Amino acid sequence: MAKVYEHYGIPERKGAFFGVEIEIEGEGLPKKISDSWSIVKDGSLRGDFPYNSAEYVFAAPFSIDQCDARLNEVSKALVKSKVKMSQRCSTHIHVNISDLEEVELFNFLYLSVLAEPILMTLVKEERVGNRFCLRVKDADILLDGLAYIYKNGVGSLAGYWSGEWRYSAINLASIFKYGSVEFRMFHGSVDKTEIMNWLLLLQALRVASQKFDNPKDIYSTFLKLGAKEFFSQVFSRVWLDEVFTPELERSLNEYFSFTIMVPHSYTPRKVFGKPSNVRVKKGDLNDVLDRVLEQHRQIDVQHIIERNQAARGRDRVMEYQAIRDEVRQEDFE
């Protein structure tokens, strides 16, 4: 199966590599850090460039171990500076996906969307609902885009691209430009430990994306295990226990419900001229599905239908109703 880099003619970079962009305001900011960092002007920041405002960007993607060393360089360079992380400052992280197969990318994106409530627990309040990093629940344009490419293939992304995507918390626009997915929800930080934790969580999502057959497999596994157990197998169980609350569980279940169109839009590509014919394993999932859908009936039916009726009109509502009915009746053979 073709990999992402082959679809867009971009260089392949094998493995988990990351790009980091840190926006900073302050006084006496360094004009240079090292050859591993570029310093660019960002129009959203206040203060003269580069001494009072700047965006520090990895000069190239680095592995997780290399990121640790690069972040140390920033910390040392800023020792004599007075850093002021205002609400305008943020940290953006790019995750390499150029070497992933199409279905692995789809898994990664679906996992990332489902995990968005977890990632949002790690950011400052001003990043929640921020118009420069809109969550899926703030604007469903990302879901429309995912459903489209899951049905038509990753190669269709460039033709469907919308400029609005670049301000989603999970930005797809960088896929066909750089072979990466950009995560924009993180607040401005030069704390190496904090940034490394973000990187490790995103790396865990990338690793998990290669363990599932397809997005429907992720969907059915979530149904079987429930939110906490599912993400305990993606992230560290000990770490997840520290952040997991009833409120977070409700949020994860809500995300699972209103993203229902995404995995069920997935259409297997042909491999070596034959359909991949990947199917969800048969079992007791019908009973579990009925229970979960009944438990979240208000979310699945009323919330989604009313939200899309206001935004898209009757045709869009009919589409969501059809998806809901399909999921309820699906045989899972």
How would DSSP label each residue in 78-100?
Answer: TTTSEEE--TT-EEEEEEE-TTS
> Average pLDDT for residues 270-280, to the nearest whole number?
38
CA distance 49 to 21: 16
253 confidence band (pLDDT: 50, 70, 90): very high
Instruction: Give the pair of three-digit tokens for residue 332.
Output: 């899972």
198-246 pLDDT, tens digit per residue, is 999 999 999 999 999 999 999 999 999 999 999 999 998 889 999 999 9
**Structural domain spans, the chain:** 4-211
* Residue pair 196/65 in contact by the 8 Å Cβ criterion: no
* Residue pair 260/300 in contact by the 8 Å Cβ criterion: yes
Mean pLDDT for the chain? Answer: 84
CA atoms within 13 A on the CB side of 274: 3
CA distance 217 to 278: 9
12-26, 122-136, 176-190, 297-311: range with lowest mean pLDDT: 297-311
Instruction: Give the pair of three-digit tokens for residue 326.
Output: 């399909």
> Average pLDDT for residues 275-294, to the nearest whole number?
39
Per-residue pLDDT at 166? 74
Per-residue pLDDT at 72? 97
Looking at domain 4-211, which CATH architecture does it have?
A: 2-Layer Sandwich (3.30)
Query: 0.75 exceeded by the pTM?
Result: yes
Select the more confidently predicted residue: 312 or 240: 240
CB contact set of 297 (below 8 Å; sequence gap of 6+) = none
18 has pLDDT over 80: yes
Q: Which of 68, 70, 69, 4 is nearest to 38 (CA)?
A: 70
> Average pLDDT for residues 150-162, to the nearest whole number?
82
| Amino acid sitting at position 222 | F
Per-residue pLDDT at 270? 59
309 has pLDDT over 60: no
296 has pLDDT over 80: no
17 has pLDDT over 80: yes
CA distance 173 to 152: 17
Select the more confidently predicted residue: 239 or 332: 239
Q: Which of 40, 70, 19, 16 is nearest to 178 (CA)?
A: 19
Q: Which of 17, 209, 227 is nearest to 106 (CA)?
A: 209
150 has pLDDT over 90: yes
- For residue 275, the surrounding DSSP H or E stretch is strand 274-275
H helices of the chain, in order, are 4-8, 64-77, 102-120, 141-152, 157-160, 173-178, 192-209, 215-225, 227-232, 237-243, 246-258, 285-295, 297, 304-312, 314-329
> Average pLDDT for residues 242-257, to the nearest whole number?
96
49 has pLDDT over 90: yes
> Average pLDDT for residues 37-56, to the nearest whole number?
97
CA distance 125 to 42: 22
Select the more confidently predicted residue: 282 or 57: 57
25-29, 255-259, 281-285: range with lowest mean pLDDT: 281-285
> Average pLDDT for residues 256-270, to the nearest whole number?
90
Q: CA 111, 319, 153, 102: dihedral to nearest 10 degrees?
A: 20
> Average pLDDT for residues 129-145, to the nearest whole number?
87
CA distance 209 to 206: 5
> Average pLDDT for residues 147-167, to the nearest whole number?
81
Per-residue pLDDT at 161? 65
Instruction: Tell the burial category of 127 from Cβ atoms under 10 Å away from its Cβ (0-12, 13-18, 19+).
Output: buried
